[in-house]
Amino acid sequence: PSNHPVSLTAFYNMGAGTGKIRFYRGHIGGDEVLFDEISGVTGSGSLSASDVVSRSNHSWYRVEIILDNSQGAAYSTPLFIALQ
């Protein structure tokens, strides 16, 4: 098939704060796109987002976890996907 579904999971610990989790997608040689944002996240756990990887170009994904009070943030290492 020309496209493949993917599921990304972000594990988080907001401590006593509240924040947001952002999921980004990019294509090699292209722009980055925010494709999902979950606000009002508290406590700890995991959240997932789904997307479809195109076979037309190599893709990458990354996640940001940001506290609302600007006291902290975490950024994932990009995950590269190359469909053959």
The pairs formed by 62-65 with CB atoms below 8 angstroms and a separation of 24 or more are 62/24, 62/26, 63/8, 63/10, 63/21, 63/22, 63/23, 63/24, 64/21, 64/22, 64/24, 65/10, 65/12, 65/14, 65/19, 65/20, 65/21, 65/22
Over residues 60-76, the mean pLDDT reads: 88
Q: What is the pTM for the complete model shown?
A: 0.85
Q: Residue 58: pLDDT above 90? A: no
Over residues 34-46, the mean pLDDT reads: 95
